[in-house]
Chain A
């Protein structure tokens, strides 16, 4: 993943840069007649030119510093499918004390009529501001008089009190771009870490000194004026089984490292993990909460009653927190208020739940640490230097003897030590109150396994009557439990299942370990399966692939750009033994198979046989990796294809006299 994460040098001075914004409304024939084949013949719309400027300025009214961002775009719309590019939504942040503002919105549509370009200017009335939620405001507008072939252009100014992340610039978007330029003015007193994500390379990067770009308390300050350019950028297209688009989309990110104060002192923001460790351990909403053993001190004896080993204790505490504090569906690495409040109200965000877990584990005398991480949909974290804003989640780590377990108490249906899939995302950072922090791999601690065992008898009228037992563990069990609990009772789940399986009748069932998530989930069904109408008993075809048949290839495309991320390794086994009613010969059968993915990435084994009137089938399907690289995609496709072909073939049975 690191190869798409490049650190950019900030001060790389070269000759004078010529970068400047382009003039609004200067539509040319070249724009109008732009041949999309030059870039992407599939495009419905293309960004012809895009220019962004960001700088830090002093607000005249309040005297405080703010980030001023100007965005100017020119888009060619080729057809009606591209009309949606003319609906613009600009999200801004707000809270009780601070807000981002949008101003100077200009937007026009240009059409070529007769020999001229006619400009239709958007009314200010057509701009809507929607208070989406507590923290988000959306500024929305749409361009007037749009036709196939129109060129649209818009620009706006955004002012933000948030200097910390400066302003991220996305070179890549869902439509291709001919050129995208970003010009930033960073005052010399500000030091930012700058990184470029994604697969695309910068076409050009220029820097120079801009004299006296900012005046603070009468002191003139010079800026670094840096211009980033990218040309001929392909559209970003999302694929199945991939983690956050932001991991792959080409964009430039900033994070404030330090500020040189006018009095000569320096304020460090994000510098080293050492600084971060110190800060976090004293943060009211993180480190301080980890230390609050007092909250659980009196409860611990009751919670851990009967636990003999440390591991038992840890499990008891984990189960207690799972039951006691409900996750309110908000992510977070900081407690909303404090864990006492979370425990009292029995509700909290991810950090509340897991900081409570850490405090409780510590209160029980166990060695517990916090791990901050970024969820799959939030992207991977920058490992070149600490970027706190990359992290959005916090889990617990408990060390028992020479083993350690990663714990997240927000999902009651997961067993001890198995993280929810959303946390399985590269690496997290372990925060220990006493020792330096370090990276840890976030991987699923258990394979996802499913095993089906079917034993039965075939009757003379073409039915198989028998018992199907299924055992599931890991994410497979989690998914099953979730599905079963979506019904008002397990009986209703089975009823639905029975209705859905049109060739199989479920006569009786027993589901065990539904609530004891530490054990594998066991489903036992007495089934009756119809294979034929029994009219042709002497010789008939019979498919042994009646359990979890693979009929569709999940990797059906011809190419892949980004890694396939399945989250966890998996293992599925099927064992079938069916006693035949009379003596039969097995004339034909599906080929016995043993195939594997390259680099031991997975395997498929199949064996069928007839012994003493019992027809048996054994199948194993294993995927050993959680992530497969794009170049392995075609192997996965072929692997599945071979299985599907073989599952289309059947056994031919002939009666012997």
Chain B
């Protein structure tokens, strides 16, 4: 009886909200139109947690699209799978004066697999819809309700989804039982939510009004560090027939370990024997682990399959053993099981992977902060990390995909947060030495040797073992100089915890330095020109440099006889500041012209008002990199 009543009530509410609003575009305040491609007129998101296996999400939204670029925001996209059912979708489109032009329902939606492009199979699906409207602006008004049969992951709230969108009004309502224990993460929200409690339910409401659209700013911190956002994590949860309780990382990690991992570790006896035999001559645990890692890399490859709980739970180690493939979870779990066979302890770690560093929030535990799994071996203080999805990556090296961030280690004693090692500015090196001969006609040819370490190790890693034709093609993009050609190309990988990649190439560039009359124009820095950055006015966000690095180039040009080397004057430029430093030098000795360049970029976060200084620094470097000598030729 109670159920019937609720449905009726909802129905009344939605009818009312559709009828009373006026979607005339002229009613939007002008400050909300500035820099905006779309404006969210009103959005009401309600999460109603009736029970752990029944969470209703109701979204009512009215969004005005000012032009074609705003359409990305108007597209209605709903993901669903076996755990999420769509209960209703309906909507209407209004023209610029707020007159209803047409209506749509679930039948108008396109339905597709939500395959991510790198997985073999994903069971998630997506429905999406965008109205066909040729005249801007228009307003899209819709209401949909979906049911989640789980409450481990609760839809969060980000009222302003993008820079180019303004928000007139947006609310987020959480309804749960007064007895439910939920944790709430609040970011960049001033004030407290409005809370109404009676004996049946507790209702919390967050609201924002009049958020302006802004222009995107380069070198900004990650969006989720400054956007308004509310996240919810219930203490008692239900997910695909699993139940659990957590309030912190320790408990969550414990649940993952006990419920999702432990039962997946068994290996066939023959494999255990084989591993023991494999490492019998190795003395230290680290050497044993290295050997086993090599075995893993030889035996397995990365194939992703995501079905149901499989999104969080690895397939059994014995399956990987049999098939020779798996996703990140499966491969880490398999590696962990192999190590266990020779009594080496290791931790299954959840991480948010990507070049942009994102840590697990130490003050707020939740299930959806990670997207990748890596393995950590404590090894009595000599902590070593393993990325298990690549067949190429050296033992103990994580790369910029997962460096320098907090990750959740799921252990038998519960979860704990660990920090992965940082790839520092001093380590991220690209050291280049070239000896080139300048010919009388301006062509150059010679040898170039480049060593990449730290995060820069990855610059050319993908080229190892690639066919020669492909290596040439790729190098022509890296060193995109007219008429460049390569005679020999070699890439040597020093597989080590601190890996190094050596690129040795024999290069020739016909007519590199054009001759005009009795002058030859030589741009000294042929291979490493720093790209300029935009000069932004009225910067609002801090300047964020994600990762630092150091480049050093030494090029020795042997000059031809027709050059009057005495007339070449030395060149020298140096800049230094908090963002980094730059030196370039050109000097002549006999028939050798030496060009030296060093560029250091420091990582870090700097106040917004220093952006001008930063862009000047980079653009000065860019200008200096184009240093060109006009060399006089002997008559």
Contact = CB atoms under 8 A, between A and B. Distances in A.
B573 to A, nearest CB: 13
Contacts of A142: 120, 303, 325
Given A412-B134, A648-B513, 4 more contacts: A134-B110, A142-B120, A145-B324, A541-B630
A80 interface: yes
A646 B514 contact: yes
A644 B512 CA distance: 10
B112 interface: yes
B188 interface: no
B132 A346 contact: yes
Interface in B440-487: 442, 465-470, 473, 476, 480, 482-485
Contacts of B113: 130-133, 138
Given A44-B467, A541-B630, A645-B511, A345 B532 contact: no
B482 A556 contact: yes
A113 B482 CA distance: 50
Given A488-B69, A541-B630, A588-B516, A140 B121 contact: yes
B480 to A, nearest CB: 5
Given A502-B622, A644-B482, A488 B301 contact: no
6 contacts: A83-B301, A142-B325, A145-B324, A346-B134, A502-B534, A556-B484
A553 interface: yes
Contacts of B134: 323-326, 346, 412
Contacts of A486: 68-69
A649 B516 contact: yes
A557 B473 contact: yes
B115 interface: yes
B35 A499 contact: no
B519 interface: yes
B383 to A, nearest CB: 28
A389 interface: no
Contacts of A236: none
B561 interface: no
A266 interface: no
A526 B301 CA distance: 58
Nearest to A590: B516
A94 to B, nearest CB: 13
Interface in A60-112: 79-81, 83, 87
Contacts of A412: 134
For the complex of A and B, the 3 pairs showing the least CB-CB separation, nearest first, are A347-B132, A42-B467, A499-B534
Given A80-B392, A128-B121, A650-B521, A488 B480 contact: no
A492 interface: yes
B262 to A, nearest CB: 23
A553 B483 contact: yes
B322 interface: yes
B494 interface: no
B521 A485 contact: no
Contacts of B81: none
A141 to B, nearest CB: 8
A434 interface: no
Contacts of A500: 534
B36 interface: yes
B120 A140 contact: yes
Contacts of A649: 514, 516, 519, 521
Nearest to A500: B534
Contact of A42 (B68, B215, B468, B521): B468
B180 interface: no
A81 B322 contact: no
A588 B483 CA distance: 25
Contact of B630 (A487, A591, A652): A652
B525 interface: no
Interface residues on A, range: 35 or more
Interface string B503-523: 000000011011011010101
A43 to B, nearest CB: 7
Interface string B313-325: 0000000001111
Interface string B38-79: 000000000000000000000000000011110000000000
Interface core residue of B102, B469, B514, B615 (most chain A CB under 10 Å): B514
Interface in B595-635: 615, 619, 622-623, 628, 630
A293 interface: no
Given A323-B134, A485-B68, A557 B35 contact: no
A650 B519 CA distance: 10
Interface string A480-501: 0000011110001001101110
Contacts of A44: 467
Nearest to B307: A128
A496 B534 CA distance: 8
B511 A641 contact: yes
Interface in A557-599: 557-558, 588, 590-591
B251 interface: no
Interface in A512-529: none
A328 B132 contact: yes
B260 interface: no
B84 to A, nearest CB: 17
Interface string A127-156: 010111110001011101111100000000
A640 interface: yes
B323 to A, nearest CB: 4
B460 to A, nearest CB: 15
Contacts of B96: none
A502 B617 CA distance: 12
A145 B301 CA distance: 9
A337 to B, nearest CB: 14
B5 to A, nearest CB: 38
A552 interface: yes
A42 B485 contact: no
Interface string B213-235: 10100000000000000000000
B535 interface: yes
Nearest to A553: B482
A488 B323 contact: no
Interface core residue of A41, A325, A556, A650 (most chain B CB under 10 Å): A556
B482 A645 contact: yes
A130 B120 CA distance: 10
Interface in B260-319: 298-299, 301, 303, 305
B483 A641 contact: yes
B111 interface: yes
Contacts of A323: 134-135
Contacts of A130: 113, 115, 121-122
B540 interface: no
A179 B155 CA distance: 54
B133 interface: yes
B295 to A, nearest CB: 12
A488 B466 contact: no
B324 A641 contact: no
A126 interface: yes
A402 B243 CA distance: 79
B112 A133 contact: yes
Contacts of A148: 298
Contacts of A144: 322-325
A535 to B, nearest CB: 14
Contacts of A347: 132
Contacts of B301: 80, 83, 146
Contacts of B442: 645
A588 B517 contact: yes
Given A128-B121, A558-B485, A590-B516, A499 B536 contact: yes
Interface core residue of B111, B325, B465 (most chain A CB under 10 Å): B325
Contacts of A138: 113
Given A87-B303, A142-B325, A326-B132, A502 B482 contact: no
B268 to A, nearest CB: 14
Contact of B164 (A140, A488, A499, A645): A488
Nearest to A559: B469
B599 to A, nearest CB: 17
B67 A488 contact: yes
